[in-house]
Structure formats: C-alpha cells, structure tokens
C-alpha cells in the first residue's frame, strides 16, 4: 500500500472535518456536524487499521513505517523533518485514539444534540484528534511538541466550551496555565538533549543513549529526562501538576472521556515509553518517576473516596490510574505501562460516557447523593458501567486485572522496583475497589433518591451503542496480555501477544530475572482478595447500611476534612505561589510601570513638547519679530568681537 497517502489520510481527515465544521460554526444542526466529524474520525480509523496491517506483515525486528513529507527546520546542525513514524508503540496509540475517538464522536451526537454550539464543539474535537495523531506519530521531539501544544490548546477550548459560565471559563484557564509550567520544562529538556546528542529525532537519541546508567544528578541525561518528566506531570496530571484535571470536568462529558481519560493525559506516559532507552540510562530519574507515580496513585484514590460529583470521582480515579502507568515506567515496565494505557482507555472512556448517559438522564444532575436505584431506569447504561467497574477494580478476567497486576508484579520483582512500591500499588487498588463500588452503589443500586420532578430515561442509540462496544472491550481488552503464569494453565497455553508485539520496541530491564511463579501467584491473589473485600465493605456501607458512611466520617473528622478538601493543595498553591505572584505583579505594576516608566515618559514628552513650543514661537511668520532677531544677533556679534 502507499504509506504516504495512508499516513496523510490518517492525519488530515480530522483536520478536514475541523475545517468544515469550523466554517459552519454558527449552524445549529448538531446531527450534521456530528456526522461530518464522526465520518472524518472513522476514515482515520480505517487508515490506521490498514497501516497497522502492513506493519504486522513486516519482520518483527524491522516493524517501522517512516514517512517524511518535507524538511521543516534547517538551522546549522539542527535538522528537523515533518516526519512521522509508525511502530508497535505508536500503532497501539493510533488505534486507541481513532477507535475510541470514533465511539466518543458518535456518543457526542446524542449528548450535544440540543446544544447551539454543536458545530463548534465537533470542530474542536476533530482538531484535537488531528493534534493527538501528530503527537504520537511524530518522529522527533519538536514534531511531538507541535501536537503536545495543539492538544493543550484544544483541551483549553473544550474545558471552557461553555465559557459564559465563569466557573467553567476559570477551569479552562487553570488547565492552560498549569500545563504551560510543564511545557516550559519540556522545552528545557529538549534543549539539554540537543546540546548533548546533537539531534532530537527519537531513533537517533535512543541509539546514542548511554548503555551504562549514570548516577550523577547533574549529568545531561539525568537533567534532560527530569525536565521531560516534569513536562509529563503537567500533561498527564501527576504530582505536583495534577490540580487542573479534576476542574477539567467543567467541559462536556464526552470531552472528559476522550481527552481527559483515554488520550491526551496519556501523552506523558507515551513520551517516556518512546524514549525508554534514554530513561533507563538515568536511574535517578526512574526512581523519581516511580515514587511520584506511586504517591499519585494514593492521592487520587483517597480523594476519590470523598467526592460527590460523579465526574469528579472519575477524574480523581483517572489521576490515580495514570499514577499506575508512571509507576510502571519508573520500574522499567514500559510494556506494562502501555498495556494499562490501552485497557484504561477502554474502561475509563466507558465510565465517563456512562456518567454522561446518567447526567443526560438526570437532566444535568451530577451529585450522586441525588441518584440511586437508576439500574431499573437505565439498564444499558447500568450493565455497561458495571463492566467498567469490574474492570477498573481489577477482577479477573476483565481488562483492568491483567494490566494492573502486571504493573504490581514488576513493581515487586524489577531491580528498579521495591516491595514498598508494590505495597503502595496494592493499597491503591484496594482503595480503588472501595470508591468505585461506592460510586456504583450510590448511582445505580440501593434506594432511589432521585427528586420527584426528575424522570430518568435511557439514552438514545447514538449514545448506547458506544457504551456497548466499550463494555465488550472492557471485558476482552486485557486478553492480549495474559501473563505467562496464567497462560500456562489455560487451554491452548495462550501467549502474551502484547509482550511479543512490543519486544523490539522496548528495551529490557537491566538485571531482571524471571519471576518466581509461587510469589507471583501470591501477589496476584493478595491484590484480588483485597479488591473483593474492599468492594464488599463499600457495598455494605452504601447499600445495606447507608447510615454508616456518615458515622465513619464523623469518627475520623479531621482526616476526613483534609481528604474531602483535597489535602488543601489548591489553597496551598494560592497562598504560597499564586497570591504572592499576584501581589508582586501588582507591586511591579504600581511602582515600576506607573510610577517610574509612565512618569519618565511623561517628563520626556513634556520636555520635548516644551522645546517644540519654544522653537515654534521663534518661527511665527511675523517680519518685525524676525527683524528684531536679526538686530539682536548683530548686536551680540559686535559685542563678541569688541570683547575679544
């Protein structure tokens, strides 16, 4: 097949959709706008499938399809092409982006049906996919950065889509500013790597990466990877730059599903996996990534236990699940990180869309305290959400079980891991089972708390079909990565397909030895048992004994208050960073801008204007005055000569 044409079609189809809907942004036909946008993404999905089929047909050691369209930058030794590369890693990404993206576009047709700005919404959504594809297919850091900034812009536009609401507009601005901090670090990382290696192309950087790990903190490899990781914490909502993601739920729910669960927030994970040989050469950076990932797992999970907004619970769950992906990267399990990235895209997109279906049925109500008993009104939404629930809490044989337990196994066995990292990950999984069961129980089970004037109803087919497809993927999506210890006892002894697929794209962990089978079974059994017990406790508290949560909250009053208020991190940022900067800026404005620069310009302008007035008075066109000037000049000249 013609790879340049397929690659161009894959990239440009969403951009064409953006142009068409962008030019007709004032039109109110949501159905037509949705059909145009969805068709564009489906065309990209078909192109992605065709390219991946060609990739599968290549020998495993040479599975790379490269396309160069033109030379983009040529300055001295810096040579950057508008080049794109498809390999086993980016193949997973484009299938997730276009496949899940197609379903979310279809869902949006029903969800945004009554919105007057639907054409603009679909234009933004298509533009986002265009930039996301650039991000994952770019063959160099600068090309990736173009997509990196593009998805950030689209995220800002879609979070603040209903910008007439001040709170939603502020959420968009918060996301934009927070990500700029990370993006500045990303740029610094690029500069350091270019000065060290003389190139910014991924393949060349990976080839030039040191084979012997360096332990020096000031080494360019360590510094470069650290700055890149800071950029990843912004885009992928990790400590300390995670604060924008929960507020990003102000945008339309399908946006949360596509951008803030399945695609954009995984960009940081993808970037680290893309440069895995370089990061393995910086063990100090890897240690920090693992620790930050583990802490983020706990942070997101604990806060998720106290939230009442259905989308906020899922938002903090996303922060926590992204922490697992970074934990995997930090212990060198890049394949496990990509595995969880994929399965998480399935079940978290499903749950966000399911929450959208609930919100649609509840006439925009998002407080789960005003729900309950929705199972009988929303059977499709309930059962598909159920599959997402069992997937995310890690019950076999659902998708989340395989990817989550693979991460925990590597955290325990990897030379870059530690038993403490496994313990934190297992605790996070236990908390996840609790708060996701809490969400399920308060929304769908137990007694109805729905207001009498609200009449819930199931969503239309455009919304329910994507839920069903994602529900199926949440069941079977993990079967491509069945671990060897389980595959050995299954009929036919299925292989770990994903491991073979990524074998030549992922550098093995130095010093890794085969897992002890008995220990692996024990670890797996412990994590699953903890999840089941935690889920039963949550079910008991929120369905069978609904008075208990309030009693527990009162019993642990100070702790509950801290967690409910999200550890007061936003308040700390305002007190320690934002407010001092605002005050300093006001001081600089008043003393430097107003009282120095402005007054200096006023004095200079007064002097110039006064001088001009004086010169103008000398040239007033009066002949008698000119004669007087001549006489005075003559007298002054004679006096000068006499004195001399």
Average pLDDT of the segment spanning 146-160: 94
Average pLDDT of the segment spanning 561-576: 92
> Phi first, then psi: what are they for 446, rounded to 5°?
70, -165
Question: How confident is the model over 231-280, as pLDDT tens digits?
Answer: 999 999 999 999 999 999 998 999 999 988 889 999 999 999 999 999 99
- pLDDT at residue 616, as a whole number: 79
Is the predicted pLDDT of residue 465 greater than 80, yes or no? Answer: yes
CB 163 within 8 A of CB 169: yes
Question: How many whole angstroms separate alpha carbon 13 and alpha carbon 23?
Answer: 16
The vertex-588 CA angle with 583 and 592, nearest 5°, equals 160
Please give the sequence-ordered ranges of beta strands (E in DSSP) within 87-242, or none if there are none. none
- The whole-chain average pLDDT of the chain stands at 92
Q: Which of 289, 251, 248 is nearest to 272 (CA)?
A: 289
Give this prediction's pTM.
0.91
The vertex-247 CA angle with 243 and 250, nearest 5°, equals 165
Is the predicted pLDDT of residue 554 greater than 70, yes or no? Answer: yes
Question: How confident is the model over 635-644, as pLDDT tens digits?
Answer: 988 888 888 6
- pLDDT at residue 638, as a whole number: 87
Q: Which of 115, 138, 181, 195 is nearest to 10 (CA)?
A: 138
CB 381 within 8 A of CB 253: no
CB 136 within 8 A of CB 145: no
- pLDDT at residue 223, as a whole number: 96
Is the predicted pLDDT of residue 216 greater than 90, yes or no? Answer: no
What is the percentage of the chain residues whose pLDDT exceeds 70?
Answer: 100
Average pLDDT of the segment spanning 104-129: 92
- pLDDT at residue 615, as a whole number: 81
The residue among 127 and 489 whose pLDDT is bigger is 127
Residue partners of 236: CB distance under 8 A and separation at least 6: 265, 266, 267, 268, 269, 322, 325, 326
Q: Which single residue is written with the structure tokens 């007035």?
A: 613
- pLDDT at residue 222, as a whole number: 95
Question: How many whole angstroms separate alpha carbon 188 and alpha carbon 194?
Answer: 10
Question: How many whole angstroms separate alpha carbon 354 and alpha carbon 17?
Answer: 26
Question: How many whole angstroms separate alpha carbon 347 and alpha carbon 96?
Answer: 12
- pLDDT at residue 41, as a whole number: 97
Average pLDDT of the segment spanning 167-172: 91
Question: How confident is the model over 341-391, as pLDDT tens digits?
Answer: 999 999 999 999 999 999 999 988 999 999 989 999 999 999 999 999 999
Is the predicted pLDDT of residue 28 greater than 80, yes or no? Answer: no
Question: How many whole angstroms separate alpha carbon 418 and alpha carbon 425?
Answer: 11
- pLDDT at residue 302, as a whole number: 96
Taking the CA atoms of 372, 373, 377 and 379 in sequence, report the sign of the dihedral they define: positive
Tell me the two tokens of residue 239. Answer: 């400590």
Is the predicted pLDDT of residue 446 greater than 70, yes or no? Answer: yes
Question: How confident is the model over 285-331, as pLDDT tens digits?
Answer: 999 999 999 999 999 999 999 999 999 999 999 999 999 999 999 99
Question: How many whole angstroms separate alpha carbon 636 and alpha carbon 215?
Answer: 84
Question: How many whole angstroms separate alpha carbon 332 and alpha carbon 328?
Answer: 6
In three-state secondary structure terms, 57 is: coil
- pLDDT at residue 1, as a whole number: 67
Question: How confident is the model over 33-86, as pLDDT tens digits?
Answer: 999 999 999 999 999 999 999 999 999 999 999 999 999 998 888 889 999 999
- List C-alpha distances in Å: 568 to 66, 233, 243, 553: 47, 19, 11, 18
């Amino acid at each position: 097949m013609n790879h340049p044409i397929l690659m161009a079609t894959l990239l440009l189809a969403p951009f064409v959709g953006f142009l068409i809907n962008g030019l007709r942004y004032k039109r109110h036909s949501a159905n037509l706008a949705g059909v145009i946008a969805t068709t564009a993404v489906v065309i990209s999905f078909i192109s992605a499938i065709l390219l991946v089929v060609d990739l599968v047909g290549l020998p495993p050691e040479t599975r790379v399809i490269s396309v160069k369209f033109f030379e983009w930058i040529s300055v001295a030794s810096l040579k950057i092409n508008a080049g794109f590369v498809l390999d086993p890693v980016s193949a997973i990404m484009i299938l997730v982006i276009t496949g899940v993206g197609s379903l979310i576009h279809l869902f949006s047709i029903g969800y945004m049906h009554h919105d007057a700005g639907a054409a603009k919404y679909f234009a933004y959504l298509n533009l986002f996919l265009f930039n996301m594809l650039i991000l994952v297919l770019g063959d160099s850091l600068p090309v990736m950065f173009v997509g990196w900034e593009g998805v950030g812009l689209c995220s800002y536009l879609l979070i603040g889509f209903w910008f007439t609401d001040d709170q939603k507009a502020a959420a968009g601005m918060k996301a934009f500013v927070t990500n700029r901090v990370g993006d500045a670090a990303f740029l610094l990382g690029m500069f350091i790597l270019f000065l060290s290696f003389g190139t910014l192309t991924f393949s060349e950087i990976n080839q030039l990466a040191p084979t012997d790990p360096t332990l020096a903190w000031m080494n360019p490899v360590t510094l470069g990877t650290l700055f890149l990781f800071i950029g990843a914490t912004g885009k992928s909502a990790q400590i300390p730059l995670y604060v924008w993601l929960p507020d990003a739920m102000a945008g339309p729910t399908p946006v949360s599903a596509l951008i803030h669960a399945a695609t954009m927030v995984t960009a940081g994970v993808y970037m680290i996996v893309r440069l895995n040989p370089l990061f393995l050469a910086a063990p100090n950076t890897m240690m920090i990534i693992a620790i930050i990932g583990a802490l983020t797992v706990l942070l997101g999970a604990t806060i998720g236990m106290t939230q009442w907004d259905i989308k906020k619970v899922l938002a903090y769950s996303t922060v926590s699940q992204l922490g697992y992906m970074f934990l995997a990267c930090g212990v060198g399990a890049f394949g496990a990180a990509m595995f969880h990235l994929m399965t998480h895209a399935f079940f978290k997109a499903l749950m966000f869309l399911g929450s959208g279906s609930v919100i649609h049925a509840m006439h925009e109500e998002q407080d789960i305290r005003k729900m309950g008993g929705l199972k009988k009104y929303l059977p499709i939404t309930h059962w598909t959400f159920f599959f997402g629930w069992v997937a995310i809490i890690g019950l076999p044989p659902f998708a989340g079980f395989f990817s989550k337990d693979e991460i925990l196994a590597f955290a325990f066995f990897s030379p870059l891991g530690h038993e403490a990292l496994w313990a934190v990950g297992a605790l996070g999984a236990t908390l996840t089972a609790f708060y996701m069961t809490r969400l399920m129980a308060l929304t769908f089970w137990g007694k109805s708390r729905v207001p009498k004037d609200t009449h819930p109803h199931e969503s239309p087919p455009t919304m329910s079909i994507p839920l069903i497809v994602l529900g199926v993927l949440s069941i079977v999506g993990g079967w491509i990565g069945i671990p060897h210890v389980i595959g050995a006892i299954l009929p036919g002894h299925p292989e770990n397909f994903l491991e073979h697929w990524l074998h030549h794209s992922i550098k093995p962990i130095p010093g890794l030895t085969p897992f002890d089978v008995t220990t692996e079974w024990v670890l797996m059994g412990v994590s699953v048992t903890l999840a089941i017990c935690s889920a039963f406790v949550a079910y008991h508290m929120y369905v069978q004994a609904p008075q208990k949560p309030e009693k527990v909250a009162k019993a642990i009053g100070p702790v509950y208050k801290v967690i409910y208020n999200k550890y007061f991190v936003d308040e700390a940022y305002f007190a320690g960073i934002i407010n001092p900067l605002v005050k300093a800026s006001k001081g600089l404005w008043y003393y430097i801008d107003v009282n120095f620069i402005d007054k200096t310009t006023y004095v200079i302008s007064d002097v110039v204007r006064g001088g001009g007035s004086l010169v103008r008075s000398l040239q007033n066109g009066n002949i008698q005055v000119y004669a007087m000037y001549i006489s005075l000049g003559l007298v002054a000249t004679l006096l000068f000569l006499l004195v001399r």
